Amino acid sequence: MTRLETLLIAVMAIWLLLTIVYQVFPRQLAPYTQRWDLFRWLPAYDLFAGTPRTLQLSFRDQLVDGSMTDWCAIEICSKHRWHHAIWHPEGRRLDVVGSLVDDLINIIENQSSSRSKEVSDRFVYLSILRFVLCLPRAERVTGRQFKIEQSEGYIATRPSKQLFCSRIHSYEAVCGS
Amino acid sequence: MRLFVDPEQALAWITRLVAIGVLLDTLELVYCRKQFDDEQLFAWRWLRRSRFFSARRLFPHVVDLLLDRPLLIPLILVRGVSAVLLIVLPQATSSSTVALALVFAISSLLNLRAAPYGVDTPSRFTIVIVGALLLRGGAPGSPILAQVCLWFIALQACISYATAGMVKLFNEGWRSGVGLFNVANASTLGMPLRLATLLARHEVIGRGLTWFTIAMECAFPLVLLLPTPFSFFFIAWGLLFHLTIASLLGLNRFFWAWIATYPAILYVTQR
């Protein structure tokens, strides 16, 4: 075996070993992989590990006269189509929005109420806000607010429960930045 | 039936299949290129404000140049052209090694760019396969390196299934047999309503399929140990499994990334 072969085999062996260690200790190693694995060369295989939650993102607008419109639900998943098995370009964007909504709820649920003000400073919150504010709007709208509700899914025995409601954000403050 | 007993043939097919996935990813990104516009969620000027980038000093001028829209779209297109080259000429040559290097480098940059929101699993898995093929391209005439590369890819696939199975085994929802119903019933995952209805009406089917999924995922590494006719059972299950999640969940890129490992698994099982 040449030196080059030995080197290349060693790289693959280390890569495989790190992959195994990362699957066994994902939480313990997460701070290190977040920091050092910039290109995400270490895969995470914990697919569909938890129980999926059905979270609904909705928004409503504030009009010039200060009144609010009705809540409008945002589709954060694409309706099932058989051709998505081959071609599903919008899936990635909707996946990201869905993950952001899920992450925001996890942050809210895992932090004490005394620190709740910080939520609106988080990148996750601001990204959802950016997404919501950039959706089409009428001319007489000055601000927008969003909320997140949880339901049991298609087949539900209980009504949806509101988990979070943002304050009203003006367009000039966020979309322009 | 003996498929992929020749390591070169197996590696060529892995290259071809993973390149199809990369090409599909490229076409989808180009189709949705407006999402990189300044006011959108994937705008570089927005992503660079995340803690992931703001807390690091990653050669800001270089990163800005590479990840902002003007150069990003041409880079994505270069990756697409490299993928086409790999589909047409998958054999280990200097040109395919250059194409693999371009796919690896540009995919890594795309992963870096997506990091603030989290990089999706197919993109991460594709990098692993392309990386292994690229390392193998470092000494294309080496038979031992070809075999190590095939083992590496086959083991990565087995680890992926086993991990996915084990984490389900540790989840109460999956263990109680309603895991599959929960996935089907979560309207945000995009499965058809009638599947949730079917699983709700026939609980036994739901429980059976849930446990079958867990058992097959956990037991998948046995594919490397069992004699050939039995190992084909796992391969057939894997194909059906990926076709099902592609068609029901719309996870089309998962299919190509994982199916690309099957020539390696078939090669190893027939050794």
Regarding whether A42 and A58 lie in a shared domain, the answer is: no
Regarding whether A22 and A102 lie in a shared domain, the answer is: no
Contact A77 B160 (CB under 8 A): no
With beta carbons under 8 A apart, name residues in chain B contacting A132: none
Domain count, chain A: 2
Regarding whether A80 and A45 lie in a shared domain, the answer is: no
Pick B193's closest partner by Cβ from A9, A46, A154.
A154
Q: Supply the pLDDT for residue B118.
A: 94
Q: Categorize the per-residue pLDDT at A174 as very low, low, confident or very high, splitting at 50, 70 and 90.
A: low
User: To the nearest 10°, the Cα dihedral for A127, A128, A131, A136?
Assistant: -150
The Cα B52–Cα B69 span in angstroms is 19
Regarding whether A57 and A43 lie in a shared domain, the answer is: no
**B interface test, pick of A51, A56, A122 with most B CB neighbours within 10 Å:** A51
The Cα B189–Cα A73 span in angstroms is 16
Interface check for A171 against chain B (CB to CB < 8 A): the answer is no
- Specify whether the CB–CB gap between A149 and A55 falls below 8 A: yes
Regarding whether A83 and A72 lie in a shared domain, the answer is: yes
Residue A4 has pLDDT above 80, yes or no: yes
Pick A49's closest partner by Cβ from B159, B171, B187.
B171
Regarding whether A89 and A27 lie in a shared domain, the answer is: no
Residue A89 has pLDDT above 60, yes or no: yes
Token representation of residue B45: 């000027």
Residue B121 has pLDDT above 60, yes or no: yes
Regarding whether A162 and A92 lie in a shared domain, the answer is: yes
CA angle B146, B152, B157 (to 5 degrees): 130
CA atoms within 13 A on the CB side of B125: 27
- What distance in Å separates residue A50's CA from the closest CA in chain B? 6
With beta carbons under 8 A apart, name residues in chain B contacting A80: 190-192, 248, 250
Q: Categorize the per-residue pLDDT at B271 as very low, low, confident or very high, splitting at 50, 70 and 90.
A: confident
Regarding whether A28 and A91 lie in a shared domain, the answer is: no
**A interface test, pick of B166, B167, B176, B187 with most A CB neighbours within 10 Å:** B187
- Per residue in B171-191, pLDDT (tens digit) is 999 999 999 999 999 988 888
Taking CA atoms, what residue in A is nearest to B247? A85
Question: What number of C-beta contacts closer than 8 Å exist between A and B?
Answer: 201
Interface check for A82 against chain B (CB to CB < 8 A): the answer is yes
Regarding whether A145 and A68 lie in a shared domain, the answer is: yes
Token representation of residue A125: 């919150």
pLDDT, mean over chain A: 91
Average pLDDT, stretch B247-264? 96
- What distance in Å separates residue A103's CA from the closest CA in chain B? 10
The Cα B124–Cα B13 span in angstroms is 20
Residue A175 has pLDDT above 80, yes or no: no
Selection from A119, A174, A114 nearest residue A143 by Cα: A174
**Could you tell me the sign of the dihedral formed by the alpha carbons of B180, B167, A16, B269, in that order?**
negative
Residue A42 has pLDDT above 70, yes or no: yes
Regarding whether A58 and A17 lie in a shared domain, the answer is: no
Q: Supply the pLDDT for residue A113.
A: 58
Residue recorded with tokens 């943002």: A166
Contact B156 A48 (CB under 8 A): no
| Pairing state between β A161-165 and A72-74 | unpaired
Q: Domain containing A28: what range? A: 1-50
DSSP B57: -
Chain A 8-37, residues with CB within 8 Å of chain B CB atoms = 8-9, 11-12, 15-16, 19-20, 23
Contact B117 A100 (CB under 8 A): yes
Residue A107 has pLDDT above 80, yes or no: yes
pLDDT, mean over chain B: 95
Contact B252 A99 (CB under 8 A): no
Interface check for A52 against chain B (CB to CB < 8 A): the answer is yes
Three-class secondary structure of residue A73 per DSSP: strand
Average pLDDT, stretch A118-133? 92
Average pLDDT, stretch B66-85? 96
Three-class secondary structure of residue B149 per DSSP: helix
Taking CA atoms, what residue in B is nearest to A46? B164
Residue B88 has pLDDT above 60, yes or no: yes
Lowest mean pLDDT across A72-76, A112-116, B132-136? A112-116
With beta carbons under 8 A apart, name residues in chain B contacting A152: 185
With beta carbons under 8 A apart, name residues in chain B contacting A148: none
* pTM of the predicted protein model: 0.94
Regarding whether A63 and A93 lie in a shared domain, the answer is: yes
Average pLDDT, stretch A79-87? 91
CA distances from B129 to A78, B21, B157 (A): 29, 11, 10
Selection from B95, B40, B100, B50 nearest residue B72 by Cα: B40
Residue A117 has pLDDT above 90, yes or no: no
Residue B238 has pLDDT above 90, yes or no: yes
The Cα B202–Cα B211 span in angstroms is 15
**Could you tell me the sign of the dihedral formed by the alpha carbons of A135, A141, A142, A144, in that order?**
negative
- Per residue in B29-70, pLDDT (tens digit) is 999 999 999 889 999 999 999 999 998 877 888 999 999 999
Q: Supply the pLDDT for residue A177.
A: 47
Q: Supply the pLDDT for residue B105.
A: 98
Q: What is the ipTM of this complex?
A: 0.95
Token representation of residue B50: 């995340």
What DSSP letter does each residue of A122-145 carry, written as one string?
A: SHHHHHHHHHHHTS---TTEEEEE
Regarding whether A116 and A31 lie in a shared domain, the answer is: no
Token representation of residue A127: 């990204």
- Specify whether the CB–CB gap between A45 and B159 falls below 8 A: yes
Contact A127 B46 (CB under 8 A): yes
Q: Supply the pLDDT for residue B262.
A: 98
Pick A39's closest partner by Cβ from B24, B112, B145.
B112
The Cα B182–Cα A52 span in angstroms is 7
Q: Supply the pLDDT for residue B1.
A: 66
Contact A40 B159 (CB under 8 A): no
